[in-house]
Structure 1
Amino acid sequence: MPCADTDLKRLQAVRERIAVAARRAGNSPEGITLVAVSKGVSYERLAAIAREGGQLDFGENYVQEAIPKINALADLALRWHFIGHLQRNKVRQLLGCCTLVQSLDSVRLAEEFEHRGGAEGVVTRVLLQVNLAREAGKHGLDETELRPCLEALAGMPHLEPMGLMLIPPLAASPAENRPLYRSLQKVSATLRELGYPLGHHLSMGMSDDFDLAVEEGATIVRVGTAVFGPRRYPLVGPGKEGP
């Protein structure tokens, strides 16, 4: 099993890069949430980095891996973010388990959260996943779908849209995605200026380019490999990494 000390050193290095990037942009590092993407990571490593490193925000991609982890580590009061594509038939399992669902990508998915949340009295905080690059085969709303989606969400009291999330295209160099990050910030600002019910959060930036995203206004970065190192997937349980 990878060494917890190594995880802690990598975590500190990521935090330092975030702080440098934030200050370079004239912002406070305290306003940025580091979500450690924990798919394929054992319960023990997560508990160690939470207890010893103070890392409380974790991101999961799969409901079937997230729920056992959330239950097993409930005593640590962690903040769980769901960041993967979510099918409507999995909403019931996830309801009430996450601090933030970052991958709301359709009105139909929103309607399922509203239906389930209304029945159980649960309000779900969400980010709208945006496919600004209009990549074929990638989930997310394109820019023209954002306003109709937000108009629909205005009538759903059991959903709270906290901001936008972007998964950028694979790029030859991290700098290639800077214009997309800048565009997402502008889209968010425009929607809020027009009075749409949308929070200020921008979830953008991953292991290869999170510091660039911070410079362009990210309030949340999703970092996996830079914290936990390379992993093999899929699912894990107590005491074991991915196969």
Structure 2
Amino acid sequence: MNNIAHNLEHLHEEIRSVCKTSGRNPSDICLIAVSKTKPAGLIKEAYDAGQMDIGESYVQEFLEKESSDQLSELPIRWHFIGHLQSNKVKDIVGKVSLVHSIDKLGTAEELSKRASRKNIIVDYLVEINTSGEVSKFGLPPDELLPKAAHFFNLPNIRLRGLMTIASPDRKKARYEFRMLADLLEQLREASPDPGLLTELSMGMSQDYDIAIEEGATMIRIGTAIFGSRQR
């Protein structure tokens, strides 16, 4: 069995090392532990080791864990990082600190509607398909800026930045991470409140070092913390 506390300690050491060589401040990097398919007990183990930010990809699985006896009373910062269908938005509004994976204007509109009904503010990221792979979700890069004003004007939700899942090839991944960072800068120039646009959610277990070098503020790590997925 993996020692999750040990894995987290080792990962933080690696993050500090990458930050040192790339001139980044480790405190500017939010580590999100991706716990999809992992039981609540392992999430509790990570929390006990100091891991506050937890990422889930499937709505029903998230709801079961978030309401479980082991986790429901803990001040976990939940991140929804998986593909989000409009008809599932209502289930997570008010329960997650950040939605990473809004890939359509229509889904953002639904998020706005549901947040308005609850009279709350929901933070979110727009997912960009930087690789162009048809198997990946995400808004095409060239559609972001033409739609930016619509995203900015939706009530009760705040666009905080961008998210991507890169190609498995590390050379391509670096190019895609750099593309996302450039897009965020362009988005800031178009924004009525550029100070809100602070987040680049990019990088996973196999490429988080490159992502940090290219400006990531959030990295999503599962395997390096919890071990291989069971399904």
* Aligned pair partner of 2:44 in 43, 47, 51: 47
Give the TM-score taking structure 2 as reference length.
0.94
Partner of 1:180, secondary structure, is helix
Alpha-carbon distance in structure 1 between the residues aligned to 2:59 and 2:200 = 23
Is 1:67 aligned to 2:57, yes or no? no
Is 1:32 aligned to 2:29, yes or no? yes
Alpha-carbon distance in structure 1 between the residues aligned to 2:179 and 2:93 = 31
Partner of 2:36, secondary structure, is coil
Alpha-carbon distance in structure 2 between the residues aligned to 1:154 and 1:8 = 40
Structure 1 match to 2:53: 57
* Aligned pair partner of 1:127 in 125, 128, 152: 125
* Aligned pair partner of 1:87 in 85, 98, 105: 85
Where do 5+ consecutive residues of structure 1 fail to align? 234-243
Contact 2:152 2:159 in 1 (8 A): no
* Aligned pair partner of 1:165 in 145, 159, 163: 163
Alpha-carbon distance in structure 1 between the residues aligned to 2:214 and 2:150 = 28
Larger RCO (alpha carbons 8 Å, 6+ apart)? 1
Pairs aligned (count): 227
Contact 2:4 2:45 in 1 (8 A): no
Deviations, residues 176-210 of structure 1 (Å, cap 9, x unaligned): 31111112111111221333555121000000010
Contact 1:35 1:58 in 2 (8 A): yes
Alpha-carbon distance in structure 2 between the residues aligned to 1:196 and 1:77 = 32
Structure 1 match to 2:204: 206
Letter in 2 for 1:8: A
Deviations, residues 118-171 of structure 1 (Å, cap 9, x unaligned): 111122110110012221132101112112332112221211111000101222
Letter in 2 for 1:36: A
Is 1:195 aligned to 2:184, yes or no? no
Change (3 A) 1:120 1:195: closer
Structure 2 match to 1:111: 109
Where do 5+ consecutive residues of structure 2 fail to align? none
Alpha-carbon distance in structure 2 between the residues aligned to 1:25 and 1:43 = 35
Contact 2:148 2:190 in 1 (8 A): no
Deviations, residues 8-52 of structure 1 (Å, cap 9, x unaligned): 11111111111111121211100100000001111111112211x
Alpha-carbon distance in structure 2 between the residues aligned to 1:169 and 1:138 = 10
Letter in 2 for 1:89: N
Structure 1 match to 2:94: 96
55-64 vs 130-139, greater mean Cα deviation: 130-139
Alpha-carbon distance in structure 2 between the residues aligned to 1:196 and 1:180 = 26
Alpha-carbon distance in structure 2 between the residues aligned to 1:102 and 1:141 = 12
208-217 vs 145-154, greater mean Cα deviation: 145-154
Alpha-carbon distance in structure 2 between the residues aligned to 1:43 and 1:106 = 31
Alpha-carbon distance in structure 2 between the residues aligned to 1:114 and 1:191 = 20
Structure 1 match to 2:215: 217
Contact 1:150 1:196 in 2 (8 A): no
Alpha-carbon distance in structure 1 between the residues aligned to 2:134 and 2:24 = 34
Give the TM-score taking structure 1 as reference length.
0.89
Partner of 2:99, secondary structure, is strand
Alpha-carbon distance in structure 1 between the residues aligned to 2:101 and 2:83 = 6
